[in-house]
Chain A
Amino acid sequence: MENLTTQMAGVPLNHYIYLCAIIFTIGVIGVLTRRNAIVIFMSVELMLNAVNLLLTAFSVHSNDPSGQVFVFFIMTLAAAEVAVGLAIIVMVYRSTKSIDINVLNRLKW
């Protein structure tokens, strides 16, 4: 383990950027193509995680612990967001008997 992390020097930073861009995009595609509100929430989680990983990579790259503190705050925010969001979804399900977001299009006006 000690050796593995000591030698973590080979991966270029832009490969981390590409990985995070791809995973963020997968999250965006999930939000665009799914109608189940809970799966949309999971896609948002994926996007948050991609950003977290990129922040950590940059923090290691520039040798600055602030990036990892930001990740910690984003995790706090994600936990709060999921709690409130899932409560809203449960409430919507109680009143409409469905979690299809198209049912909610009457909120548009």
Chain B
Amino acid sequence: MTDEETNKTNNKLMSTQVFYFVATLSIIFSLMVIFAKNPIHSVLYLILTFFTFTVHYVLLNAQFLAVVNFIVYMGAIMVLFLFVLMLLNLNKETEPVKSPLIKIVGVIAGCCLVVTLVGSFKAASINSPLILKNQGLGLVENLGKELFGPFLLPFELSSLLLLAAMVGAVLLSKRDEVEA
């Protein structure tokens, strides 16, 4: 084995280890989102979860999605969540609690779901390793050609969706001035 080949296998080993490490982190953080008592802590753990997802995108060489995930999710959506949480003045004391029975039933139902999913994927037995055939797959150039070519109509329609969402949000959160 030449020097370069050993170097390559070392790199391969390292990047898979990075994947497993980040995957563990994202599972732990998403569990913390669910089980944190304080909703503010939930939001902060959700930000960490999204950060681990960004790392996953970078590992998959989807750099455009990594940047968009970073800006849209960790920037815009999380700020929205935090603002609403702070606006509503929620904390541990006002947090509604479900009965333990419902919690146990929910966790058991979730475990059934994951067992079913994993079992069916095992039956499908897709275990070919992920190989990046095209280095520029997730770069802006490649995605832009796709987005403004075959996906031009959905792209324009999504602008309509965003406009509708904006108008809806403003309309819903405006105070009723009928009684005033």
Q: Are A45 and B77 in contact, CB atoms less than 8 angstroms apart? A: yes
Q: Are B60 and A79 in contact, CB atoms less than 8 angstroms apart? A: no
With A6-B132, A35-B98 in contact, do A42 and B121 touch (Cβ < 8 Å)? Answer: no
Whole-angstrom distance between the alpha carbons of A78 and B77 in the complex? Answer: 9
Q: Are B143 and A52 in contact, CB atoms less than 8 angstroms apart? A: no
Q: Are A33 and B43 in contact, CB atoms less than 8 angstroms apart? A: no
Chain A nearest CB from B136 CB (Å) reads 9
Binding site for B on A (CB under 8 A): 3-19, 21-30, 32-36, 38-39, 41-43, 45-46, 49, 52-53, 56-57, 59-61, 63, 65-66, 68-69, 71-73, 75-84, 86-91, 93-94, 98-100, 102
Binding site for A on B (CB under 8 A): 8, 11-16, 18-19, 23, 26-27, 30-31, 33-34, 39, 42-43, 46, 49-50, 53, 56-62, 64-65, 68-69, 72-73, 76-77, 80-81, 84-85, 87-88, 90, 94-98, 102-103, 105-107, 109-111, 113-114, 117-118, 121-122, 125-135, 137-138, 142-143, 145-147, 150-151, 154, 158, 161-162, 164-166, 168-170, 172-173, 175
